[in-house]
A = this chain, B = another copy of it.
């Protein structure tokens, strides 16, 4: 049984996941770049994963755990947390722990092993976001869980251990520290100003227009004012919304379009850069709050500058976000114009 443990000074919960120890890569210092070999996420290999909990199938083929899916969600074979059991909260002297109860799922983003989220069409990316939404909505019903963390590791340096395009979610019986801190900061701002801090950020960014990467009618991508890394980006809904789950299909389509453009702009700046993204959304069953604003944070993993920051929690960023935004705005424009011309010619 995995275990959740709380640091008595910082209040930070961490997962001790002995089950994952089975993976031989866990303690290896990074060497190989390619992963290769048999892929358990590819169509035809459905029996090698735990049974699916959700799949979007576009054709007439409706068999579970069989090919024909566009996006497929399965429990992680090496879960950091397990779904069955009770929380068993207990103290041990001054320490606090509980059983590692939770869900850990893999969202397989495409049937095509060679596909990446960056190259994927916005139409296909829509099903990825739709899967996030449906899984969160389903897990919200389990009263043991307080938060669903949705994230992606792209590239080995960013923690991916499988090549096939996928993201993950972890349903937690606690609130992760980053969310606790964010909620506290946002609440404190709201109490003073009676406005959402993220709404104010968006307003200021649109006025200043120096850190805006791209936008459409519903969403905006910015490089944040105090970014941890070069090319860190936030994708936010322009209109106040605290829960990702509340987005309708129109909004998810709009998000897909902008998210796709965002990733392609990043790729045009640093080809195939490893990155993590994390969905920041309100805790489960909050019912919508005035002071919080859901968003994605995309953090490129530029290994050579990330070592110290990771160990210390203190960030030195060699690139001002205004310059990063300029690179991101300009980088793709030539290529985009080219594609647009092609489309117009083809149409």
Cβ-defined contact, B10 with A185, below 8 A: yes
Contacting residues, chain B, for A306 (C-beta < 8 A):
159, 310
Interface presence of A145 (CB below 8 A): no
Interface size on A, residues (CB 8 A): 89
Q: Mark A189-208, 1 if CB is under 8 A from B, else 0.
A: 10000000110110010011
Closest B residue to A292 by beta carbon equals B9
Contacting residues, chain B, for A226 (C-beta < 8 A):
5-8, 12-14, 95
Cβ-defined contact, A224 with B7, below 8 A: yes
Given contacts A7-B224, A14-B226, A158-B311, contact A29 B273 (CB under 8 A): yes
Cβ-defined contact, A313 with B94, below 8 A: no
Cβ-defined contact, B158 with A305, below 8 A: no
Interface presence of A268 (CB below 8 A): no
Closest B residue to A293 by beta carbon equals B9
Whole-angstrom CA separation of A153 from B12 in the bound complex: 24
CB distance from A123 to the nearest CB of B (A): 27
Contacting residues, chain B, for A320 (C-beta < 8 A):
3, 16, 18
Closest B residue to A308 by beta carbon equals B159
Residues of chain A from 1 to 38 with CB closer than 8 A to chain B in the complex: 3, 5-18, 20-21, 23, 25-30
Interface presence of A334 (CB below 8 A): no
Cβ-defined contact, A30 with B303, below 8 A: yes
Cβ-defined contact, A17 with B318, below 8 A: yes
Contacting residues, chain B, for A16 (C-beta < 8 A):
317-321
Cβ-defined contact, B301 with A310, below 8 A: yes
Whole-angstrom CA separation of A197 from B6 in the bound complex: 14
CB distance from A233 to the nearest CB of B (A): 12
Cβ-defined contact, A304 with B25, below 8 A: yes
Interface presence of A72 (CB below 8 A): no
Q: Mark A268-281, 1 if CB is under 8 A from B, else 0.
A: 00100111111000
Contacting residues, chain B, for A227 (C-beta < 8 A):
14
Whole-angstrom CA separation of A207 from B321 in the bound complex: 50
Whole-angstrom CA separation of A255 from B247 in the bound complex: 56
Interface presence of A243 (CB below 8 A): no
Cβ-defined contact, B8 with A156, below 8 A: no
Residue among A197, A201, A226 facing the most chain B CB atoms (10 A cut-off)? A226
Interface presence of A93 (CB below 8 A): yes
Given contacts A14-B228, A14-B317, contact A8 B197 (CB under 8 A): yes
Binding site for B on A (CB under 8 A): 3, 5-18, 20-21, 23, 25-30, 80, 93-95, 149, 151, 153, 155-161, 176-178, 181-182, 185-186, 189, 197-198, 200-201, 204, 207-208, 224-228, 230, 270, 273-278, 297, 299, 301-321
6 further interface pairs, Cβ-Cβ under 8 Å (given A15-B316, A16-B319): A5-B226, A7-B225, A8-B189, A26-B230, A158-B311, A159-B304
Can you pick out 6 interface pairs between chain A and chain B where the beta carbons lie within 8 Å of each other? Answer: A8-B201, A16-B319, A23-B318, A27-B230, A30-B304, A149-B314
